[in-house]
């Protein structure tokens, strides 16, 4: 059985090249200022703890209010993030739908407007003709009613005057308008 022996190496005899590392100067980080800041922070914590032990009800109330405010702020941030993410994710779809509707929407031509105007005028003419027909029927009914009233003179009292057919027609039209809703 052969035993292998490793040669001993003297580290002091190894030549390692020297690397020139530049000094990094960070003026914003000053160790003495950091220690002062830590010291003031710790002293503020000590005064807060002393006040909390001297006034426990105020401390518990302020802790509860603080937790509530933190929850409100967290909920507000959550809603803002949710709304922002929803807007970012749905914006391409809504934009493409809007563009598609704009591209495929029928152009409003003057011909369409003219046909619509003609349809409305025809409808008005039809309604006017129907109104004239109703007026003639109403006049005949009023005339027949007035002739039957003339045949029965004992029912007419001397203080009462007969209404003229024209006023009766306008009264009948106002009653008809109040009773029946317009039909389209």
Most confidently modeled range among 1-5, 25-29, 76-80, 155-159: 76-80
Separation between Cα atoms, residue 111 and residue 44, nearest integer Å: 81
pLDDT at position 184: 52
For residue 114, being part of any structural domain is answered with no
State mean pLDDT over 157-165. 52
Widest Cα–Cα separation across the chain: 159
124 with 184, same domain? yes
Tens digit of pLDDT for each residue in 8-39?
767 667 676 666 656 656 566 666 677 788 88
pLDDT bracket for residue 169 (50, 70, 90): low
The whole domain housing 131 covers 120-151+163-184
Residue at 24 is within a domain: no
Residues 67 and 124 in one domain: no
Core vs surface per residue 125-160: b (16+ CB within 10 A) or e: eeeeeeeeeeeeebeeebeeeeeeeeeeeeeeeeee
Instruction: Note the pLDDT tens digit of each residue in 27-85.
Output: 666 666 777 888 888 888 888 888 888 888 888 998 999 999 999 999 999 999 999 99
Does residue 1 lie in a domain region?
no
Q: Classify the C-alpha dihedral 28-32-36-41 as positive or negative.
A: positive
Between the ranges 80-84, 102-106, 111-115, 173-177, where is the mean pLDDT highest? 80-84
Q: Are residues 52 and 89 in the same domain?
A: yes
Predicted local confidence at residue 19, as pLDDT: 62
pLDDT for 122: 94
Q: How far apart are CA 49 and CA 123, in angstroms?
A: 86
- Per the domain annotation, does 50 fall within a domain? yes
Buried b / exposed e along 35-70 (16+ C-beta atoms within 10 A): eeeeeeeeeeeeeeeeeeeeeeeeeeeeeeeeeeee
């Amino acid at each position: 059985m052969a035993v292998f022996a490793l040669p001993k190496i003297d580290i002091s005899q190894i030549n390692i090249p020297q690397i020139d590392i530049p000094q990094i100067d960070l003026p914003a980080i000053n160790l003495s200022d950091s220690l002062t800041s830590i010291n003031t922070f710790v002293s503020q914590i000590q005064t807060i703890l002393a006040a909390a032990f001297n006034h426990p009800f105020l401390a518990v109330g302020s802790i509860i209010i603080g937790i509530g405010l933190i929850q409100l702020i967290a909920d507000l941030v959550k809603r803002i993030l949710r709304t922002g993410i929803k807007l970012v994710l749905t914006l391409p779809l809504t934009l493409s739908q809007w563009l598609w509707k704009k591209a495929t929407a029928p152009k409003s031509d003057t011909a369409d407007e003219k046909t619509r105007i003609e349809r409305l005028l025809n409808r008005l003419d039809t309604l006017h003709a129907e109104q004239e027909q109703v007026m003639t029927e109403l006049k005949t009914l009023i005339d027949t009613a007035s002739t039957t009233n003339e045949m029965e003179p004992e029912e007419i009292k001397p203080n009462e005057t007969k209404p003229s057919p024209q006023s009766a027609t306008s009264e009948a039209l106002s009653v008809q308008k109040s009773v029946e809703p317009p039909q389209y």
